[in-house]
Structures are given as structure tokens and as C-alpha cells.
Amino acid sequence: MSNHTDTVTHPVHRDDVGAKMGMWLFLFTEVLLFGGMFLVYAVYRYQYPDQFHIAAMELNTTMGTLNTIILLTSSLTVALSIAALQKGNKFLSLCFLSLTLLFALMFMVIKYFEWTTKISHGIYPGSPELLTKPNGQILFFGLYYIMTGLHGLHVLVGMVVISFMIVFIARDKVTSDNYVKLENSGLYWHLVDLIWIFLFPLFYLIQ
């Protein structure tokens, strides 16, 4: 009996460990990607401190702060969703995960209005208005659009992943006995939140 049990449970455990290791390796590559961008930002900010300060005045700190609160709250709700599923509460897990998706949507809506406001003022990469500004400000907004745009793309990917998790939980493909996919999705979402925690002060709080 014990041999039969080992042959059934051990491969499942090994697959779970492999999935987690794969996710951590993926997250490591993401950290390297954004880490390189943060390094480029630091170099240019050191070269143009005054121009970066002036350019940051164009950003809406209120919107940035609101988005920070939203993402931090979404990180909590995804953690609560995992905890609820581990305890076998499928309905509560779905509720928290749906809230996470709603918060992600709110973040993107706010970012959309923020970007469109800047674009309507002629502040976007390659615009005639931006090209009249000093090099430091041009670099600031170039980095702003690239880094926040790439982060926004990660948010959209996270929304797709969370949507799949909602479907999987509803169809009992992810359960209290098999929740590694949900845990990995939560890890990804925590990384998205963590990146924003660094982006927010770099661009919004140097005013």
C-alpha cells in the first residue's frame, strides 16, 4: 500500500516544486529587466537632476498615489484569495480574485486617463512640444512612457492570468488540494505591485 501511495503522490509533489521553481526563475528574469531600466534611470537622473525635477512636475501625483493604493489593495485581495482556497472556501476565493481583477482594471483606467492627458498636452515621445524641452526632460518622459508602459503591459498580462484562475477555480481545475497555479499567479501579481512601488517614487515623488 505504501509503495502505491508513493508512486501516486510523489510525482504530483515534484510537479508542484517544478512549477514553483519555474515561476521563480521567470520572476528573476523580470527583476533583471526592470533592474536594468532602474539603473538607466539612476544614471540619467544623476546627470540631469534639475531637469528630472522639473519634468516630474508635469505628472499627476494624486493619480499616481491612487494607483499605488489600488495595487497594494489588490495584492492583499489576491493573497486572501489564495488563503481562502487553501481553507476550502471556493466562493470567498472567487470573490477576492474578482476584486483583484476589478482593482487591476481600475489601475489601467486611471493610467489611461493619465496618459491621454499628457498626450493631449503634446507630451509624448517624439512630439514637437517635447522636443523643444531640454535633454533631461526628454529623457525623463522617454523613460516614463517606456517603464510605466511596460509595467502596464504586465498588468494586462496579470489580468488575463487572473481571469483564467477565476475560470479554473469555478470549474474545480484549481482546488484546495491543487492550488499551485493560483499561488504562482499570486507571485506574479505581487511582482507587478512591487515594480510599481519602485516606479511611483522615482517618477512622482521627486517633485
Query: Domain spans of the chain?
Result: 2-204
At residue 3, the pLDDT reads: 45
Helices (H), 87-179: 90-120, 128-131, 135-170
Q: Are the C-beta atoms of residues 199 and 65 closer than 8 Å to each other?
A: no
pLDDT along the chain (207 residues), means of 10: 41 64 88 94 96 94 96 97 96 98 98 95 91 94 96 97 97 92 95 96 89
At residue 13, the pLDDT reads: 55
At residue 18, the pLDDT reads: 76
At residue 26, the pLDDT reads: 87
At residue 17, the pLDDT reads: 75
At residue 9, the pLDDT reads: 39
CATH number of 2-204: 1.20.120.80
Burial label for 55, CB within 10 Å (0-12, 13-18, 19+), is: buried
Q: pTM to 2 decimals?
A: 0.88
Helices (H), 121-134: 128-131
Q: How far apart are CA 207 and CA 190, in angstroms?
A: 27
At residue 27, the pLDDT reads: 87
